[in-house]
Amino acid sequence: MDTRKELALKFFASQIRLETFRQVANLGFGHLPGSLSVADLLAVLYGSKMNIRPEEPNWPERDIMVMSKGHAGPAVYSTLALKGYFPMSWLSTLNKPGTRLPSHCDRLLTPGVDMTAGSLGQGISAGLGLALAQKVKGIDAKTYIIVGDGECNEGEVWEAFLFAPQRKLDNVIVFIDRNLKQLDGTTAEVLALGDMAAKLEAFGWHTQTINGQDVLAISEAIDAAHTVKDRPSAIVMNTIKGAGVKELEEMEINHHIRLSPDMSERGMKVLEEAHAALAEVLRENNITPIPTALDRE
């Protein structure tokens, strides 16, 4: 990837963070930090890797993305809205009565959501079922599944980790959001996971460990995974819960938070300033941003 593409993806990730923070700040509470930790990954997937048609969300030949850690819905919604799956105005309805953007992803409500999630541990199994269906139907497409590290406490996740190599699902990439925190503590305190990459390698997976806040590292890891044959790939992403807003990053318990008006103002200022700085870099270097729905407003 050249530097110009890398900067365009950083800018897209910045847009996702900004819209995600705005959604939760508007509501006043939510799963904000765990949504911010996957913003860079979503920018790479939807900005450069996935074969999709926002105007035709159920296109049978599309690549599929399953957010198994369904509470990161706000980041997914920001990404889908920016890509044009539904109006940007929907983002202001997050988790409110009558919304089509519930707290956790729901495929029956939100265009572009491929699998309902929220009961942690189930999304990866559903995603592998979708990947197997692609194989059975002869569809040349990929399935990308994002799993939380706290979610990996669930036994069903490890059954899925056994299933994928058995079926040689080389059309699957599982991303583990290794932000080291979960609902009520650190993953080390609640149930230590150890070396996830080594464990998955022993299960028969192709594994990589990367900085999950680096769009270049994410992109290169995905490209490497795409060359693997006859076994699934897992990318363990070392991330920061609340990435992009230092005040959130430094909270000891930050799975679900309540944002005061002052916190909202401070966080928005940080993200807006970072976004403006990136916009200036793009302008100075004559780099075209990744097209989004904001270009049409």
pLDDT in tens, 133-175: 999 999 999 999 999 999 999 999 999 999 999 999 999 999 9
Please compute, for residue 11, the number of CA atoms within 13 A of its CA located in the half-sphere on the CB side: 20
**Alpha-carbon dihedral 18, 210, 254, 90, rounded to 10 degrees:** 30
Query: Cβ distance 198 to 171 under 8 Å?
Result: no
Tens of pLDDT, residue by residue over 232-252, are 999 999 999 999 999 999 999
CATH of the domain at 105: 3.40.50.970
> 297: pLDDT confidence band, cut at 50, 70 and 90?
low
Domain residue limits at 153 = 3-296
CB atoms within 10 A of CB 164: 27
Q: Tell me, what's the pLDDT at 119?
A: 85
Tens of pLDDT, residue by residue over 61-120, are 999 999 999 999 999 999 999 999 999 999 999 999 999 999 999 999 999 999 999 889
Q: Is the pLDDT of residue 273 over 80?
A: yes
Residue 64's DSSP bridge partners are 143
Q: Is the pLDDT of residue 1 over 80?
A: no
> 296: pLDDT confidence band, cut at 50, 70 and 90?
confident
Task: Locate 178 and state its tokens.
Answer: 């290794």
- Within 8 A by CB and 6+ apart from 132, the residues are 167, 169
- Return mean pLDDT, the chain: 96
Q: Tell me, what's the pLDDT at 171?
A: 98
Task: Locate 151 and state its tokens.
Answer: 């979610």
Q: Is the pLDDT of residue 279 over 80?
A: yes
Residue with tokens 């002052």: 262
φ, ψ (nearest 5 deg) of residue 12? -65, -40
Tens of pLDDT, residue by residue over 181-233, are 999 899 999 999 999 999 999 999 999 999 999 999 999 999 999 999 999 99
Domain count, the chain: 1
